[in-house]
Amino acid sequence: MNIEQLYRQVIMDHYKNPKNKGFVADPNYVTIHLNNPSCGDEMTVQLKVEGNKITDIKHQGTGCSICCSSASVMSQTLKDQEVEKADQIIHEFYELIKGYPFNPDILKGDAIVYQGVSQFPARIKCATLAWKAAEMGLKKIKEDKSK
């Protein structure tokens, strides 16, 4: 198995058996819904932050394998992280997706399998949709806190 096949395998595993999938009707979660018209992806991400830590993430959506698997990877990567660190991780993920050098001390684990996406610009929005939703959710939490 070469590295590309391995990456594709990881993506398909998350697509078929997504982590943290679901929706909770709980006002303690911030809910962000985004769509990607160019591919037809729909994504809802929910975040729960307690203190300075993301204690739970849920995602639910329909779309292509890149989008849905990436939501699973995002939830796995950011759950139990501190908000500040999560923002750094999201930033490094965007660097990776664009094909730029990223910091492997910050961005670790399954997320790195998306580095091939940079060769397919049409899929970049698919890979980043759930991460954008998480980024917006964290921003909203910070804004609510400072009120």
Determine, following the binding rule CB under 5 A, whether residue 64 of this chain makes contact with Zn ion.
Answer: yes
Determine, following the binding rule CB under 5 A, whether residue 32 of this chain makes contact with Zn ion.
Answer: no
Q: Mask of contacts with Zn ion, 40-59, x by CB under 5 A?
A: -x------------------
> Are residues 120 and 98 in contact, defined by beta-carbon separation less than 8 angstroms?
no
Amino acid residing at 84? E
CB of 63 or CB of 116, closer to Zn ion: 63
CB of 65 or CB of 88, closer to Zn ion: 65
CB of 61 or CB of 137, closer to Zn ion: 61
Euclidean distance between CA atoms 97 and 46, whole angstroms: 22
Both tokens of residue 57?
């993430």
**DSSP letter string over 30-71?**
EEEEEEETTTTEEEEEEEEEETTEEEEEEEEEE--HHHHHHH
CB of 58 or CB of 123, closer to Zn ion: 123
> Are residues 132 and 34 in contact, defined by beta-carbon separation less than 8 angstroms?
yes
Q: Which of 67, 78, 111, 133 binds Zn ion (CB under 5 A)?
A: 67
Q: How far is the CB of 25 from Zn ion (least distance, A)?
A: 27
Both tokens of residue 81?
């992280």
Residues 82-141 that bind Zn ion (CB under 5 A): 126
Residue 91, SS3? helix
Q: Which residues sit at the interface with Zn ion, rule CB under 5 A? A: 39, 41, 63-64, 67, 126
